[in-house]
Amino acid sequence: MPEQDFLPPRGPARPPLPDSAMPGSGGGQAPWAGLPPVRPRRDRDDRDPGPPSARRAAPGRRAVRAAARRRRRLLAVAAGLAVAGGALAAVLLPGGRPGPAQVTPNALITTFLPGELRQVPAACGAVPAATVRRYLPGRVTVAAPLPVNGAAESACNWSLNAPPVWRLLDLTILAYAPSSLASGDGSATNAAEDAYAATLQGMRSPPPRSPAPRAAVTTLTGLGDQAFRAMQVFRGGGSVTDVATVVVRYHNVIVTVKLNGLQHSNRGSYGPVSGPQLSAAALAFAQAAEAALH
């Protein structure tokens, strides 16, 4: 049978008013005149559910929207899994073994590489007390200058003034960071290599008008990644000072030791100074500092 619209009952129809109750008739009103129509009472379950088409329309729209949202979520999850799978495939070799990550050629390195140090140990504590007593016998004054580069730098000074002996030993430990100004890929190690090469060049060939004399340089092996020692003699102001220097590079860290020995002074009686003894003391301090980096 064809579907017919279902209309709710409207209640009993009001009986027609007699002519005497019609407006303008001049007669009296019927007893029910002015009262609202009486509708039959229905329970909650008997309420009009409305046309079937209306009942299906609203839930259908909500269902469609919910299904669309579910499809969008599934598509997003699938896309994420595809990206993750592509990234995993890029770093796995056949058989599931881990392979090297792809590196962009000629790209600058802006982070620390494995083995490079972000901070260095305290310089004053890096040298054992026995080493200090051996090479600087006597009453030694120790001072730790404030670092300029925070935890990436530490320095310590040991001074001894007991005529005829006058010594001043400076130890500096400095960790270099990645830099776009460094050679190669700009890594922290490359920055330290550049600093090491510049110091070595300055020792061998001081710039014009420099107060520093040319140094006698010897390359060292078995200490850090690179190392050299140098001897210089400074003259000026009526004094002569011998200076032994040892420079060590370990990855991105540079250890610099300078030991000054006063050979002669116009004030007080100092000297003589043994160059080999100064060089041995500077080397011992440098070895202790480099060992503290491991």
**Model confidence pLDDT, tens digit, residues 23-38:** 444 444 444 344 445 4
Token pair 């004094």: residue: 239
Identify which has the larger pLDDT, 50 or 60. 60
| Amino acid present at 33 | A
- Ranges of H-type helices in the chain: 52-91, 123-126, 129-135, 188-204, 275-291
pLDDT at 163: 93
**Vertex 147: Cα angle to 221 and 154 (nearest 5):** 30
Q: pLDDT tens, 253-285?
A: 999 999 999 999 988 889 999 999 999 999 999
The architecture in CATH of the region 123-291 reads 3-Layer(aba) Sandwich (3.40)
Rg (CA), the chain: 47
pLDDT at 147: 84
* 210-233 average pLDDT score: 96
Instruction: Name residue 54's amino acid.
Output: A
Query: Residue 33's closest CA among 10, 17, 11?
Result: 17
Pick from 282, 236, 238, 242: which is nearest to 261 by CA?
Answer: 242
Output the CA torsion sign for 209, 210, 212, 215: negative
Half-sphere exposure of 65 (CA within 13 A, CB side): 5
Q: What is the pLDDT of residues 164-213, one digit of tens each?
A: 999 999 999 999 999 999 999 999 999 999 999 999 999 999 999 898 99
Across residues 69-93, what is the average pLDDT?
44
Strand spans (E) along the chain: 141-143, 153-162, 165-175, 216-219, 226-236, 239-250, 253-264
Q: Could you give phi then psi for residue 193, rounded to 5 degrees?
A: -60, -40
**β-strand pairing of 239-250 with 226-236:** antiparallel
272: its two tokens: 């003589």
Write out the two tokens for 171.
Answer: 């130890």
Best CA proximity match to 251, nearest among 221, 284, 290: 290
Say which residue, 69 or 218, is predicted with more confidence: 218
Q: If we measure between CA atoms, which residue out of 149, 197, 202, 145 comes closest to residue 175?
A: 149
Two tokens, residue 118: 């972000």
Residue 147 CB neighbour total at 10 angstroms: 17
Of 253, 286, 240, 294, give the one whose Cα is nearest residue 135.
Answer: 286
